[in-house]
Structure 1
Amino acid sequence: MDGELLDGTIARAVAELAFASVRGMVVYVDRVVRGPGEIVCGSRTVHCDRPCVIVFRDEQPGANWMHACSYGLVDPERLIVRQRWADDRPPVFGLLPETWVVASDPDKLADLVRVGE
């Protein structure tokens, strides 16, 4: 599974396991399946012993570079949240790579992916 690209609909469903939709926050998910092994997420490098999908919750959409956010690693085969933690930065500075999609955005605040993705 490492390197496999999940369908956007499946990736969004997997992301919901990590973080529920909350007003004022945006949840993004990377469709690339990573691991097992070391995975860089925000300020941390974490180990996942199974293939995982990275889920990122932006808790202050529109804020500058360093701000409250959370990460989750979800096993897309077993549909289990493997890890979840708070952090202080998005996955990258600026827009997320094209493999990332919005999983939840009840207030239409997403600003880390290109419009229409």
Structure 2
Amino acid sequence: MVTARELRIRYREFAGVANDDIDYWLDDARRIVTVAWGPDEDPALLALAAHNMAVNDVPGIAKSEADQLPAGVTKFKSASMDVSVSDAAANRSLTAGYASTRYGQDFAIMLRRNAGGPMLVGCL
């Protein structure tokens, strides 16, 4: 069973998040990730919990220097405020779901590996 300590080791930016908050989101992730995921179970739990905390703005998540700067700014002019943003950054801001965080992107890979198989329907 993964713990708040393990989440902080894997994702250092969660060092300031309270244990109770991390435990809550780990329990929430256990509704989706089960022992059937095998060796992906622990990293998937950590990634999903981190993603959910990030999109829900849980207090205590440290922002990296890159997160504090406007992502995708390609040009900045101070006098009359002339800012240009790259197309990739503009499109990324429209992205929802697991693609919206790096933790969700990690989780999505494991999700496809563990729950994305074909479904067969037939008659008895």
Q: Same fold (TM over 0.5)?
A: no
Higher share of residues assigned helix:
2
Question: Where on the TM-score scale, by shorter chain, does this alignment land: which range?
Answer: under 0.3
Q: 1 or 2, which has the higher strand percentage? A: 1
Greater Rg by CA: 2
Q: TM-score, normalised by structure 1?
A: 0.25
